[in-house]
Structure 1
Amino acid sequence: MVLPFVRDFFADVEKLPAFSRVVSHLRANTGRIRVSGLNSPAKALLIAELQKSTARPLIVVVRNNEQIDELLPVVQSFCELVGGAAPDSVVSVPTRDVLPFQNLSPHPEIQEQRAIALWKIASGTASIVLVPVMAATSLLRSADFYAELARVIRRGETLDTANLTAHLNSVGYNSTDVVEMPGEYALRGGILDVYSPEAERPVRIELFGDEVESIRKFDPATQRSSSPADEITLLPLSETPVSDELLGAIHVRLSGKRITGTEEIIEQAVRSGGVTVFPGWEFYAPVAGSAGTIFDLMPNAVVIADEPDALYAGLDASWQKVEDAHERSEIGNLVRPDD
């Protein structure tokens, strides 16, 4: 609980003439404005206060993942202190920790962070998004696509367990005998145990036929059920659900052999051709329909560029690393941003 005098202290910040000018400028939507002379904690406070005062989502472009790790918890804390955005609505879309052409997939934690953040953005529950400049330039799918990454299960509704488990498999969950860790699920007859990322505990969904009869949290150590719930949101662990359509598009991109026909024909061709995921396949996923960026997912957001000169330098350095990785790989021709 935040004490009243703490809220009063931060309310004085909102009365400062310089802050009022920035807020008035953003509300009028009259173009760019530069704010200088702030250290890192002051930047975090400004971000929290701006979101509260403008009531608009914010995209904060920073240099790299390390700056996100430093800034994210501070912004979340300030949001709580000033009575602004909910801390869990402050998210980050980190840059992948590996480069294209290295034949490596991103770390699972990075993929999970990106997937959850993109779902929150698409579902309209993200208030502040921190994104490194390299990630801000990456091609993304539509909001409708990312909105389908999660599943909401409600008590009393019908549930198709076959469809649900197929979806869980596609967004990174693992099927196990006993659920103990986030990202696991277990189906035993009419009981589905599942542990969603960011959840305090896993849940046990009991079915009566196809109807959700009860949803209860349980202790993964003792497997004993406890408090009931009316609904549960199963968050994704991957932003790129594995599908025959996606694998077919990647196959076309890499082999030059186009697959056409009905969904059944594409599925048969993918399976008969041995097309499957491979280390680093995530970097080819945009060929299946990515045409926008994070700015297209949040068209009404205020965009804050932290230290623009450093962002340009960081982007150039990151692209040089991509070029070096491509040269070492000796794979095809590299399409540069200018092209």
Structure 2
Amino acid sequence: MAEPSKRGRIVLTSPQAIVQKLPPRNVVRDALLILTRGDVFDREAFERFVLRTGYVIDDRVDEPGEVALRGNVVEVFPADADAPIRVTDGEDGTVESMTRYDPRSQRSLEEIERLELGPASELIAEDVETSDIDEHRMGERYGQLEDAVGLCSRGMADCTAARR
């Protein structure tokens, strides 16, 4: 759905979702962190990202939008995922492994090579210091908000990003 189509499309949603106001597309699109196994892992940049994009730091990760930071292991439950990911930082400062796991049993489900981590909230701050923005003042922050209908009508990639 990211590409134009000659045929019509059907988008199923709720009334609440259809009137939900969202940050501009470029803000949502730029709030994406990509981790790839073997790449350098900048833990400080990761922590800044999760704080400014609405993740909650917790001791145990069992719900979407939560992150746990322990030694060389970071656990994150992406907002749009069905299972959390355990990221292990190698001694050389690279992403050594990324594993999907069951949050109840803590057992590994599968190794992954790449993680695209999007925001856990519509409130996306420019930096950690401004991450406590009030959702009712979101329009002041972004100037102009988008609605889900407008985003989805321009392509499913934007609609998927808007869901996060």
TM-score (normalised: structure 1):
0.38
How many correspondences in the alignment? 152
Change (3 A) 1:139 1:186: closer
Q: Does 1:168 align with 2:21?
A: no
Q: If each structure's strand is expressed as a fraction of its own residues, which one has the higher value?
A: 2
In the alignment, residue 62 of structure 2 is paired with which amino acid? E
Change (3 A) 1:287 1:175: same
Residue 149 of structure 1: how far off its partner (Å) = 2.4
What is the aligned counterpart of 2:6 among 54, 71, 78? 54
Q: How far apart, CA to CA, are the structure 1 residues paired with 2:43 and 2:129?
A: 23
Q: How far apart, CA to CA, are the structure 2 residues paired with 1:293 and 1:239?
A: 11
What is the aligned counterpart of 2:80 among 198, 206, 215? 198
Residue 290 of structure 1: how far off its partner (Å) = 2.5
In the alignment, residue 168 of structure 1 is paired with which amino acid? V
What pairs with 1:1-339 in structure 2 (closer than 5 Å)? 54=6, 68-69=13-14, 94=17, 131-132=18-19, 135=20, 138=21, 140-141=23-24, 143-208=25-90, 209-243=92-126, 247=130, 277=132, 281-291=134-144, 293-294=146-147
Change (3 A) 1:145 1:237: same
Q: How far apart, CA to CA, are the structure 1 residues paired with 2:39 and 2:127?
A: 29
Residue 193 of structure 1: how far off its partner (Å) = 0.9
Higher relative contact order (CA 8 A, sep 6+): 2
Q: How far apart, CA to CA, are the structure 2 residues paired with 1:195 and 1:139?
A: 22
Please say if residues 181 and 195 of structure 1, whose CA atoms lie closer than 8 Å, have aligned partners that are also in contact. yes
Residue 229 of structure 1: how far off its partner (Å) = 0.7
Q: How far apart, CA to CA, are the structure 2 residues paired with 1:176 and 1:245?
A: 17
Q: How far apart, CA to CA, are the structure 2 residues paired with 1:192 and 1:204?
A: 6
Q: How far apart, CA to CA, are the structure 2 residues paired with 1:218 and 1:239?
A: 26
Please say if residues 48 and 128 of structure 2, whose CA atoms lie closer than 8 Å, have aligned partners that are also in contact. no
Residue 144 of structure 1: how far off its partner (Å) = 2.1
Q: How far apart, CA to CA, are the structure 1 residues paired with 2:47 and 2:129?
A: 19
Change (3 A) 1:195 1:284: same
Q: How far apart, CA to CA, are the structure 2 residues paired with 1:161 and 1:293?
A: 32
Q: What is the identity percentage for the equivalent residue pairs of Structure 1 and Structure 2?
A: 24
What SS is found at the alignment partner of 1:168?
Answer: helix
> Which ranges in structure 1 are unaligned for 5 or more consecutive residues?
1-47, 61-66, 71-92, 95-130, 248-275, 302-339
Please say if residues 139 and 145 of structure 2, whose CA atoms lie closer than 8 Å, have aligned partners that are also in contact. no
> Which ranges in structure 2 are unaligned for 5 or more consecutive residues?
156-164
Please say if residues 202 and 219 of structure 1, whose CA atoms lie closer than 8 Å, have aligned partners that are also in contact. yes
Q: How far apart, CA to CA, are the structure 2 residues paired with 1:174 and 1:159?
A: 20
Residue 157 of structure 1: how far off its partner (Å) = 1.3
Q: If each structure's helix is expressed as a fraction of its own residues, which one has the higher value?
A: 1
Q: How far apart, CA to CA, are the structure 2 residues paired with 1:217 and 1:139?
A: 29
Change (3 A) 1:169 1:244: closer
- Structure number with larger C-alpha Rg: 1
Residue 59 of structure 1: how far off its partner (Å) = 8.9
Instruction: Kindly provide the CA deviation profile for residues 30-77 of structure 1, in whole angstroms up to 9, marking residues without a partner as x.
Output: xxxxxxxxxxxxxxxxxx9xx996267x697xxxxxx9338xxxxxxx
